[in-house]
Structure 1
Amino acid sequence: MRINAYESSKIYKHKIKAYHDKKLQRQNFQPGQQVLLFNLRLRLFPGKLKSKWSGSFVIKEVRPNGVVELVNLMAGTSEKRLIVNGQCLKIYNRGQLERLTSVVYLNDP
């Protein structure tokens, strides 16, 4: 009975790992890109409208195992380097959004 329970738990763990691995998104980062970093250290109720994303950071190096080295150029005179997991990053599209505007003229009756 123990061997049967061990085998079924092993099968369950394998299925759950395959499910979670399928949900991971593979992102291709290039050195020189600007990215946003997900802030994992938010405390309980730090502020209602505080963003979970901080940045912008510039990618200095991309390593083959998914680790990315970031440089924060806003940290004063010296460069502050961070080594983070690539899953915690999102590409920052600062000036590439198209804004649609429309003008409506109102006529007096």
Structure 2
Amino acid sequence: MDWEEATKLRLFQLNEMDEFRYQAYESAVLYKGDLVLLFNSRLKLQPGKLKSRWSGPFEVVGASPHWAIELKSGDGTRTFKVNEQRVKHYHGIVDGDRIVD
């Protein structure tokens, strides 16, 4: 493979990666203001038959272009960042300030 062709291929791959990151950031921004559930990966040692690995719901307050989502805790006192892959939309009913399952 000649150097010029290899350089063009690598530049194409880098541009493609930047475009993929931008699309991931745009999809993360869609979550903003929504309620999501957080996957708890630490429940590996016999969580029990009825114990759910999903906790929440949490409110999304921000997103970054590197697949990180900022969540607000249930009582609203603190915020924390998690990977976008660890959350999913919460489809429960919110009645004012009260969450109805």
TM range (shorter): 0.5 to 0.7
Matched residue, 2:63: 62
Which residues of 2 match residues 1-109 of structure 1 at below 5 A? Answer: 27-28=27-28, 29-74=30-75, 79-95=77-93
Count matched residues.
68
- TM-score normalized by structure 2? 0.59
* Alignment deviations for residues 58-90 of structure 1 (CA, whole Å, 9 cap, x no partner): 00101111100000133xxx6121210000000
Higher relative strand content: 2
SS at match of 1:68: strand
Distance 1:30 1:56 in 2: 13
Higher relative helix content: 2
Distance 2:42 2:85 in 1: 15
What stretches of structure 1 of length at least 5 have no aligned partner? 1-25, 97-109
* Alignment deviations for residues 10-50 of structure 1 (CA, whole Å, 9 cap, x no partner): xxxxxxxxxxxxxxxx6543321100000011031132210
Matched residue, 1:4: none
Distance 2:74 2:52 in 1: 20
Superposed CA RMSD in Å reads 2.0
Contact kept, 8 Å, 2:56 with 2:74, in 1: the verdict is no
Distance 1:37 1:91 in 2: 9
SS at match of 2:79: strand
Larger radius of gyration: 1
Distance 2:78 2:52 in 1: 21
What stretches of structure 2 of length at least 5 have no aligned partner? 1-23, 95-101
Q: Give the letter aligned to residue 46 of structure 1.
A: P
| Stretches of 4+ aligned residues off by more than 4 angstroms | none
